[in-house]
Structure 1
Amino acid sequence: MAATETTATATATTVGELAQHLLALLGQCPTSCRRIIVAVAGGPGSGKSHISQLVCQAVNSNSEERAVVVPMDGFHLARAHLLAMEDPEQALQRRGAPWTFDAEGFVAAVKRIRSDDTSKIVRVPAFDHAAGDPVPDAIAVRPQHRIVLVEGLYAHVSEEPWAQVGLALADELWWIQPADAKANYERLALRHVAAGLARDRERAEERIAKNDALNGAYAEKTRLAATRTILN
């Protein structure tokens, strides 16, 4: 991880520059070297998933398919698992909190991706938003994928087991910071209603206050120093 932090605004130009930066890093590695891993994190609604996808697309548009995104969402515990907890109602309401993820599984997957043996396909789960549950082995990190953007709310957390990603596995840490907190709040509220997570604006705001705000505060409080901060 770089010693100094840089800050940029998420524009089309910046996305292109980030893609070129990753390709330059890749160019410094021999064909046989391990994959480059970038851990992308940010608060709820910050745009970490969107920016990760844009950078991935930009990398792949300039070359063969060398980049892939691995979202942390695939490591949500299944609803059946949450319903089996001591307080299933709270578990469902707090879905997205650190303890509702398979953190060990997430770290293990990133370790496999970082492995020196890049000849093997690494399969990781994805999250099916329609079904509301993870789908095992839905994403394939293939041998040609030399750049992997691992994105999620807790990708920079300094507490175990999450900390292994930022301290030992990722080459760079990119933090997505909302340029306008009010606009970010609006975006998050609208997203909850559109996704069916809240039936109206009032319920969306309640969800933000009782879940997203708590999770975001934890991620912010415990995060490691970022290599780059990207304003969005």
Structure 2
Amino acid sequence: MVNTASLADKVIELLSDKVDSNYRIAVLIVGPPGSGKSTISEEICEEVNARFQAYLSENQVKVHLQDTRESSVDICEGIPFASSSIEKITESEVFSHVEDEGYVPHKYNSKDGATIVVGRGGLPNSIQVKHEKVKVPNDSAVRIAQIVPMDGFHLSRKCLDHFKNPLIAHQRRGSPQTFDSNNYLQLCKLLAETCEIKPHFSPSKSSSNVFDKLCASFSDAVPSIYVPGFDHSLKDPSKYQHCINAFTRVLVLEGLYLLLDVENWREIYPIMKSTDAIIICNIDIDEKVIEQRVARRHVISGLAQSLEEGLERFRANDLLNARLIKKKQLRPMTLLP
């Protein structure tokens, strides 16, 4: 079992080490299907946020947002512009390169001033970057740690319909090639850039406490990044479901393929490592344990009508993915085995 309280200690320790140089730090939670990545990620965020809230309450510290938009950084600067407007994106255009793992994401300007970044999955997997005046929530609602899920980058079922072998694409949904890995990698590049933004501290009493320093350096120069989620009722991604805004100082990225040594996935770790502000939790777990967990999950979600059908689905797809990440995984130094 992963000791999330101990992991939260490590997160806050890294945050303290980097608070003067990095606006954000990142935590990568990696493991096979059924290993508990989502649960661990939620618990880490809850623990870090609870400690921050307790500090605010006990010390009567107030949260505010600096108006430093004149020093805003264009994190999308290196992304090429599309040759047409976003209104002219057609499904046929997207489907023509849906299996192109080398496709370069393009950016579009929207009418409200946001930048939309679109990869091979089209608009359902797009990212929105917006410089906006973020409303300061009540101190009790400020969350500094946030999960950035990978699920929203599942290619839509319409995209899978246009694979060379759509039957296999649907059967193997959740395997590496059925994600918009192009745009997920682009998201990681954007997040890494925000990690490396140097914080600006407002005049305040001198303090060495990490939470005091966070409160003195929340800045709307850092853009909001909206990423897709996954709607399980629709069985497809939902645009801009999650917002990473200026109050997010700990990014918790969770997913199967964050250390996978194939195509776009292999570039994620080096990009995040380059920020020098990263922790990795690599979960290793017995196949028999995840078999039962995932099979039951398939029944609960309606993907299987019985436990036996759930087990068959696990062995035909999830198990293959689990063995792939074990066989072809980058081997960085990890916090946990």
TM-score, normalised relative to structure 1: 0.88
Equivalent of 2:179, from 92, 101, 106?
101
Structure ranking higher in strand proportion: 1
Structure 1 residue aligned with 2:37: 48
Task: Write the mapping of 1:78-93 to structure 2, written as runs, cut at 5 A.
Answer: 78-93=156-171
Structure 2 residue aligned with 1:67: 145
Task: Write the mapping of 1:103-182 to structure 2, written as runs, cut at 5 A.
Answer: 103-115=181-193, 116-117=196-197, 119-170=222-273, 171-178=278-285, 180-182=286-288
Aligned-partner residue type, residue 155 of structure 1 = L
- Preserved CA contact (<8 Å) 2:229 2:240: yes
In 1: Cα distance, 2:16 partner to 2:279 partner: 16
In 2: Cα distance, 1:136 partner to 1:32 partner: 32
- Preserved CA contact (<8 Å) 2:227 2:240: yes
Corresponding residue SS for 1:162: helix
Residue range with higher mean Cα deviation, 192-201 or 180-189? 180-189
Aligned-partner residue type, residue 269 of structure 2 = G
- Preserved CA contact (<8 Å) 2:192 2:271: no
Structure 1 residue aligned with 2:311: 205
In 1: Cα distance, 2:289 partner to 2:28 partner: 24
Residue range with higher mean Cα deviation, 81-90 or 187-196? 81-90
Equivalent of 2:292, from 178, 182, 186?
186
In 1: Cα distance, 2:238 partner to 2:185 partner: 17
Any idea what the Cα deviations from partners look like across 1:200-220, whole Å, max 9, x if unmatched?
A: 122212111111111111111
Q: Which has the higher contact order (CA 8 A, sep 6+)?
A: 1
In 1: Cα distance, 2:290 partner to 2:318 partner: 12
**Deviation of residue 94 (structure 1)?**
0.5
Corresponding residue SS for 1:166: helix
Identity %: 35
The runs of 5 or more residues in structure 2 that have no matched partner are: 53-141, 198-220
**Deviation of residue 228 (structure 1)?**
2.2
In 1: Cα distance, 2:279 partner to 2:19 partner: 19
**Deviation of residue 32 (structure 1)?**
5.8
**Deviation of residue 172 (structure 1)?**
2.3
In 2: Cα distance, 1:122 partner to 1:149 partner: 14
Structure 2 residue aligned with 1:5: none
Aligned-partner residue type, residue 209 of structure 1 = R
The runs of 5 or more residues in structure 1 that have no matched partner are: 1-8
Any idea what the Cα deviations from partners look like across 1:39-78, whole Å, max 9, x if unmatched?
A: 2111111111111111111111111511110111111001
Structure 2 residue aligned with 1:25: 14
- Preserved CA contact (<8 Å) 1:113 1:141: no
**Deviation of residue 31 (structure 1)?**
5.0
Instruction: Report the aligned-residue RMSD.
Output: 1.6
Corresponding residue SS for 2:259: coil
Q: Which one has a bigger Cα radius of gyration?
A: 2
Corresponding residue SS for 2:336: strand
Any idea what the Cα deviations from partners look like across 1:142-193, whole Å, max 9, x if unmatched?
A: 1111110111110111223112211221422211122x54332211111111
- Preserved CA contact (<8 Å) 1:34 1:114: no
Aligned-partner residue type, residue 12 of structure 2 = L
